[in-house]
Structure 1
């Protein structure tokens, strides 16, 4: 099949592209390669696939409406895996317009492309951040997500709503995936696992929010990608028996679905830091501080729906995942 993968220079998008190519599919990858973090890392991710004869990379901004329309018209994709977005909770507090351009206009351009070229299935990235002020755990897709605490989360909730409207109006099968704290080799430099590893190795002090009393559903990159690839084959169908009153927000009478994709077993932040310290053989210098704007106390995914749909559950624990991350980091940065 022919796939469009957006965010192809990103952490998850580059790995999804690699796995799809390994399965014999054709992949057109797009990314605007912005400087939100080190572009050298982004290009290094792309380099892993650049010589594959089934991979084509196009530097393209999701918000560029004419260029996006031309892309869809020329390539006639079978499926779209839309992972490109402006990421980061804290960055959205100071740079809101970047999220409007990429996450709202860009997502609409994707939906329009799928509508106009009759794409068989759109899988797109949502986020665990949509759970916002929710306290009940584990987070379930049957829960209300009407109280986001960052603009980033609000745009991801908006993506789900926009997708539903297109599924309903134009019969486009769409699946949203709420990602939970992805980490591993080739990871994002703005996320805690990468930041902690870098600073501990450099002998710098790490900031620990909420005095370490935080829980995250850390999910290894290979497990995430396996879930993405599997769910791409599970195309939502219309369910004329579904009703708002009796149904779940994660499904619909339209060909629409939403799933959590995470490990399903949250880890205390201090335990995760300890795993990094143990692997490095270095004790971190720590600065304990209060909760930061946009932070949530705990993320914890109920992934039963995803398991029932795909038969897959994550396999990689924190000790193995952290070891792989640090091994890659030392090799990539010659540490």
Structure 2
């Protein structure tokens, strides 16, 4: 690849295409004139209304092809690769969520392990110029050393979700070694923004407030030792992916892993106060959540904090959107989309 997106000459295969990141990445690629084949199984992990809204928006583009399929179905996946011959694959299909992995572990093995294996097999039999895939900041587990760097020891995951993502990195490395598949893992750090995932905390806080319910904060009410999160705005995630698309790994084993995080962790309570202000600005009235403090949940980690040096060295980019800007855009969208007052 020549360091830029080649418009109509590129065919991208995006899995999880009507998910949060999948939607925004696909829309950006389509706006640049690329062809995108999108796969999604439209599961009901969260309500389908939002996924259908994203799909409707993407369906307005002539260069977009949607296929309802599940990556855990190997036969269908191989047929799709054979027919559409994608040059670049971005695997964003996965069962997400740390806490849900405790309730429904089967879903994580099926999608994140079996499904990803099928993606690798498809890339093996139908070679691609670059495979990018979603990993997660959760692979760092309860590491005490911050900021998290890609070369840190990550063999002690504290949730099944994290374990599946670490497994993806190991599997991709192996396939790159054996079959020369250029592959890049993307360790995302707490992605947020308009049209985001309703299971994420900031979205849930908004839902609770407008339903007249209190929000639960899992930090024991300890403001001095509050949870820290590296909140990363969706536009920064998309730009990071697009820059990496054009820079497949080189070398004997063509596999790399990059953090995509804001490199500026915020206390959870500061994030919540900023969200309250954003809704106050949009609604022209004071918004204050009713808060209940509870113990930290199993699988949660005290802090996520990304080093972005490797990303900067590779593609000259680091996420930069402050939470004041990102949360205002979310609040504006939420009020308009749900028509709340």
TM-score range (shorter-chain normalised) is over 0.9
Residues 206-217 of structure 1 mapped to structure 2, 5 A cutoff: 206-212=215-221, 213-217=226-230
Kindly indicate whether residue 333 of structure 2 is the aligned counterpart of residue 302 of structure 1: no
Q: CA RMSD in A?
A: 0.8
Kindly indicate whether residue 296 of structure 2 is the aligned counterpart of residue 291 of structure 1: yes
1:222: which partner in 2?
235
2:100: which partner in 1?
91
Q: Distance in 2 between matches of 1:260 and 1:326?
A: 26
**Among 311, 328, 334, which residue is 2:333 paired with?**
328
Kindly indicate whether residue 262 of structure 2 is the aligned counterpart of residue 263 of structure 1: yes
State the secondary structure of the residue aligned to 1:211. coil
Post-superposition Cα deviations, 1:14-61, rounded to whole Å, max 9, x if no partner, equal 100000111111000000000000111111111111021100010000
Residues 174-193 of structure 1 mapped to structure 2, 5 A cutoff: 174-193=183-202
1:277: which partner in 2?
276
Q: Distance in 1 between matches of 2:300 and 2:26?
A: 30
Contact 2:34–2:63 under 8 Å retained in 1: yes
Q: Distance in 1 between matches of 2:103 and 2:209?
A: 27
Contact 1:203–1:284 under 8 Å retained in 2: no
Return 5+ residue gaps in structure 1 as ranges.
239-252
**Among 121, 127, 132, which residue is 2:136 paired with?**
127
Kindly indicate whether residue 15 of structure 2 is the aligned counterpart of residue 6 of structure 1: yes
Kindly indicate whether residue 32 of structure 2 is the aligned counterpart of residue 23 of structure 1: yes
1:108: which partner in 2?
117
Q: Distance in 2 between matches of 1:135 and 1:288?
A: 24
Post-superposition Cα deviations, 1:77-129, rounded to whole Å, max 9, x if no partner, equal 00001111000101000111101110001001111111111101000000000
Contact 2:141–2:301 under 8 Å retained in 1: yes
State the secondary structure of the residue aligned to 1:189. coil
Residues 244-255 of structure 1 mapped to structure 2, 5 A cutoff: 253-255=252-254
1:47: which partner in 2?
56
- The number of equivalent residue pairs is 321
Q: Distance in 2 between matches of 1:23 and 1:135?
A: 41
State the secondary structure of the residue aligned to 2:37. strand
Normalised TM-score (structure 2): 0.93
Normalised TM-score (structure 1): 0.95
Residue 296 of structure 1 deviates from its aligned partner by: 0.2
